[in-house]
Amino acid sequence: GVVAYAADLSKTYGTKDAIVTALDHVNVEFGRGQMTAIMGPSGSGKSTLMHCMAGLDTPTSGQVFVEGLEVSAMNQRQLTDLRRKEIGFIFQSFNLVPTLTAEENILLPLQISRKPIDRAWFDQIVKVVGLEQRLGHRPSQLSGGQQQRVACARAMMARPSVIFADEPTGNLDSRSSREVLSFLRDSVRDYGQSIVMVTHDPRAASYANRVLVLADGQITQDMHEPTYEQIL
């Protein structure tokens, strides 16, 4: 199945004197229960594609759908609702709330959207990311890798339809990167989680089922179950 897709999606920035085409008539489907990596050089449109898919940015033309809902036709209130209910976010910079503990950070999205807390699910995720002994720590008391694992648990907690991860290993050493990527891959295998991940790193992309390459706002390669050598 398809969890999200873009149809003839274009995004331009600027005025008619100086137009930058970030996305140029992109058609793409993201598979349910798959991890899709989006690669490509800086400025090729990766972040813009992800932001349009997640309802963080408005397309200039074309359509975006998540779980059959037309994101590109939503107003701000509907977009906020969509991000809370259907989408999990993981950022390069972790984006944890510094004054809250790991546990409070993981539960925050549920509290904001006034959803019930499934304690069994919380315990399960915390165990999988290996944070049982760190739940009372604040972000400043955690390593980068631990902070990103908190962010992964936070993204999973509301059981989102799809997780968008923007350079999730960009600030991590290689060992922490492998831990975070292993968790993301396992969440696909064990829970059917759908993930779309932007990354510069071929090693990170090699954890994905599918690797797309963007260049100048267009998809130039679409590889299914590629080997590391094919990604390079």
Kindly list the residues in this chain that would bind ligand ADP in the complex (CB under 6 A). Answer: 13, 20, 22, 40, 42-48, 56, 83, 89, 91-93, 95, 166-167
Question: How far is residue 82's CA from residue 69's CA, in Å, rounded to a whole number?
Answer: 9
Residue carrying structure tokens 């991940």:
197
Q: Which is nearer to ligand ADP, 44 or 194 (CB)?
A: 44
CB of 6 to ligand ADP, least distance (A): 14
Q: Which is nearer to ligand ADP, 48 or 177 (CB)?
A: 48
CB of 89 to ligand ADP, least distance (A): 5
Burial class (CB in 10 A: 0-12, 13-18, 19+), 129: buried
Contacts of 37 (CB under 8 A, 6+ apart): 197, 198, 199, 204, 205, 207, 208, 210, 211, 212
CB of 14 to ligand ADP, least distance (A): 6
Positive or negative torsion for Cα 130, 158, 182, 169: negative
CB of 133 to ligand ADP, least distance (A): 26
Q: What is the dihedral of CA 200, 125, 53, 35, to 10 degrees?
A: 50
Closest C-alpha to 88, from 106, 74, 101: 106
Q: Which is nearer to ligand ADP, 84 or 178 (CB)?
A: 84
CB of 226 to ligand ADP, least distance (A): 19
Q: Which is nearer to ligand ADP, 13 or 228 (CB)?
A: 13
Q: Which two tokens stand for residue 62?
A: 């074309």
Q: Which is nearer to ligand ADP, 19 or 190 (CB)?
A: 19
Q: Which two tokens stand for residue 13?
A: 């920035």
Q: Which is nearer to ligand ADP, 22 or 131 (CB)?
A: 22
Q: Which two tokens stand for residue 14?
A: 């600027």
Q: Angle between the 144-157 and 174-191 helix axes, to the nearest 10 degrees?
A: 20
